[in-house]
Amino acid sequence: MKTVGVLALQGDFEAHARALQEAGAQTRLVRKASELAQVEALVIPGGESTTMLRLLEDEGLFEPLREFGRERPIFGTCAGAILLASDVFRPAQPALGLMDIAVERNAYGRQIESRVVRLQPEPEFVREAGDGELEAVFIRAPIIRRTGPGVRVLLRYLGDPVLVAEGLHMAATFHPELSADRRVHRLFLRLVEQNKVRAE
């Protein structure tokens, strides 16, 4: 069984740990750099990316996390997606730069701070994760405004990418851990499995 870490500095890490377990993984909460050595992949949950960034710096986790991401898969959701990006704007802030995406924070505006929608998956998602509509919960979500040439778009909402994958990593601007559908977490575990095969 895979052990997937969940960054547990802030945000809804407990819900992610449960979702990963339901998808068939073993989980471990990660709060210190030394704990990264005990997991083969990591989820960075939603929350507040500015707060998380400050905590990462306080805990001396920013650089170790970047190092980890050079070899191991990371799945960032919402604030976690913002942390994975190479470019964050409105307002600008530093990020790990592990995915070639540009992200605008809180981009759906105040009126639609949160919403639950149903998405029609892109063909690639259907191939890898199975067919059928998918519920997506958005909470003060960012919008992915640019994707680099190596980025695969797996789900879209109103034309914008909301689930993307590139190399080892995956990012969602919504909260898959808050819905009952486990296809997104299973997709990440597939990525972890593929990385393992490559590493052996």
Which residue in 16, 78, 104, 185 is the catalytic one? Answer: 78
Residue closer to ligand GLN (CB basis): 107 or 126 = 107
CA angle at 87 for the pair 96 and 156, rounded to the nearest 5°: 100
**Closest approach of ligand GLN to the CB of residue 11, in Å:** 6
Report yes or no: 132 and 123 within 8 Å, Cβ to Cβ.
no
Residues whose CB is less than 8 angstroms from the CB of residue 55 and which lie 6 or more positions away in sequence, other chains included: 9, 10, 61
Q: What's the closest the beta carbon of residue 38 comes to ligand GLN, in angstroms?
A: 25
Element (DSSP H or E) covering residue 123: helix 123-129
Q: How many residues does the chain have?
A: 200
For residue 197, how many other CB atoms are within 10 A of its CB? 7
- In this structure, what token pair is assigned to residue 53? 């960034």
| 16 annotated active-site | no
Tell the smallest beta-carbon distance from residue 129 to ligand GLN (Å): 22
Catalytic residue among 16, 104, 166, 177: 177
| Contact (Cβ atoms closer than 8 angstroms) between residue 38 and residue 3 | yes
Q: Which is nearer to ligand GLN, 2 or 84 (CB)?
A: 84
Residue 141 C-beta: closest distance to ligand GLN, Å = 6
Please, are residues 32 and 8 in contact by the beta-carbon 8 Å criterion?
no
DSSP-derived 3-state class of residue 126 = helix
Point out which residues bind ligand GLN (CB under 6 A).
Answer: 46-49, 78-79, 82, 105-106, 139-140
175 belongs to the catalytic site = yes
Taking alpha carbons only, the member of 186, 149, 187, 134 closest to residue 24 is 186
Q: Which CB atom, from 54 or from 127, has the smaller least distance to ligand GLN? A: 54
Nearer to ligand GLN (CB atom), residue 158 or residue 197:
158
Q: Report in angstroms how near the CB of residue 49 gets to ligand GLN at its nearest.
A: 3
Minimum CB distance to ligand GLN smaller for 49 or for 147: 49
- Which residue of the set 16, 104, 169, 175 is catalytic? 175
Q: Does residue 177 have an active-site annotation?
A: yes
Name the residues annotated as catalytic. Answer: 78, 175, 177
